[in-house]
């Protein structure tokens, strides 16, 4: 007869409870995206597909979503380009204050967002820059820059220098070696950094709240609407974003597994 072991059951039970705790808000958002509500979306009224078919009927929801997408894309492009260049410089070249710069890059990641948002707002006020779309993009790009540098820098450190040396031995110019050897090898890390940057920008509320002026992004719209109950149309957009992210993750995992399987057969 097997003896009862608390440790054997404690971790699975804890993991299951943690998973349920994380999924309950997502399930609530998805279910109430089908709620046939009018003014408030707090209580269940009835099932309907109208909210999915007419998602832009709620005033301001699609405009706020489009603003978040635009801000996320622009801030991601800026942060990814600058962050990639900085990561290559920090990982490959020696110069003064390199260690200090590497340390300072971790500060935005460790600093509470309220401190960073308030500091940027104070700087914009001192410089006389009116708050709006431009200040949101600048704030998001600065916030995401550190995450891009750290992600790409790890990828740069994992590259084999012999591959680039082989390209130079074959009389490739520095530009040719970079675009034909270095960049393709860095591309997975750059894409991962860009996806992370976009997710952080799209999801951000605190920094945006300090620097948005009158511009309303999707998180700010949800926060404002929460006082009277988030409209079902906002739940539709949130559910669609979650499902899209889930599809991307599944496709990436399946593609990676297929690539590994193919390489294993070749080996």
Instruction: Kindly indicate the confidence band of residue 173, based on its pLDDT and cuts at 50, 70 and 90.
Output: confident
Q: Determine whether 37 is exposed, middle or buried from the number of CB atoms within 10 Å of its CB (0-12, 13-18, 19+).
A: buried
CA angle at residue 70 from 222 to 188, to 5 degrees?
Answer: 110
- Render pLDDT for 225-237 as a digit per residue (tens, 0 to 9): 877 677 888 888 8
> What confidence tier does 253 reach under pLDDT thresholds 50, 70, 90?
confident
Tens-digit pLDDT profile for residues 17-31: 998 898 898 888 888
Residue 162 C-alpha from the chain's centroid:
33
Q: Per-residue pLDDT tens for 105-140?
A: 888 888 888 999 999 999 999 999 999 999 999 999
Can you tell me whether residue 47 is helix, strand or coil?
strand
Written as six digits, the tokens of 51 are: 């909210």
Token couple for 109: 């990641």
- Rounded to whole angstroms, how far apart are CA atoms 171 and 177? 9
CA dihedral 182, 184, 186, 190 (to 10 degrees): 140
Token representation of residue 233: 């149309």
d(CA 209, CA 212): 6
pTM over 0.85: no
**pLDDT (tens digit, 9 = 90+) per residue, 177-211?**
888 888 888 888 899 899 999 999 998 999 999 99
Q: Express each pLDDT in 53-87 by its tens digit.
A: 888 887 888 899 999 999 999 999 999 999 999 99
Q: Where are the domains of the chain?
A: 70-218
How far apart CA 45 and CA 43 sit, in angstroms, is: 6
Residue 60, classified by CB atoms within 10 Å of its CB into exposed (0-12), middle (13-18) or buried (19+), is middle
Q: Which phi and psi (to 5°) does residue 47 adopt?
A: -85, 140
Overall fold of domain 70-218: MetI-like fold (1.10.3720)
């Amino acid at each position: 007869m097997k003896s009862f072991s608390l440790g054997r059951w404690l971790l699975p039970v804890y993991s299951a409870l943690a998973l349920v705790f994380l999924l309950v808000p997502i399930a609530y958002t998805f279910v109430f995206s089908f709620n046939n509500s009018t003014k408030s979306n707090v209580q269940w009224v009835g099932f309907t597909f109208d909210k999915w078919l007419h998602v832009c009927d709620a005033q301001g929801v699609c405009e706020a979503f489009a603003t978040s997408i635009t801000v996320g894309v622009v801030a991601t492009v800026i942060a990814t380009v600058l962050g990639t260049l900085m990561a290559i410089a920090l990982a490959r070249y020696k110069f003064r204050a390199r260690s200090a710069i590497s340390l300072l890059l971790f500060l935005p990641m460790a600093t509470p967002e309220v401190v960073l948002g308030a500091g940027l707002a104070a700087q914009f006020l001192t410089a006389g820059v009116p708050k709006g779309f431009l200040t949101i993009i600048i704030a998001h790009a600065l916030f995401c820059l550190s995450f891009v540098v750290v992600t790409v820098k790890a990828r740069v450190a994992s590259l084999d220098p012999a591959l680039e040396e082989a390209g130079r031995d074959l009389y490739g110019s520095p530009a040719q070696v970079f675009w034909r050897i270095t960049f393709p090898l860095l591309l997975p890390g750059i894409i991962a950094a860009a996806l992370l940057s976009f997710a952080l920008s799209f999801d951000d509320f605190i920094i945006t709240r300090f620097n948005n002026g009158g511009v309303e992004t999707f998180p700010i719209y949800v926060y404002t609407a929460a006082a009277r109950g988030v409209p079902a149309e906002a739940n539709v957009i949130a559910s669609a974003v979650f499902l899209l992210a889930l599809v991307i993750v599944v496709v990436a995992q399946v593609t990676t597994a297929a690539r590994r399987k193919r390489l294993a057969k070749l080996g």
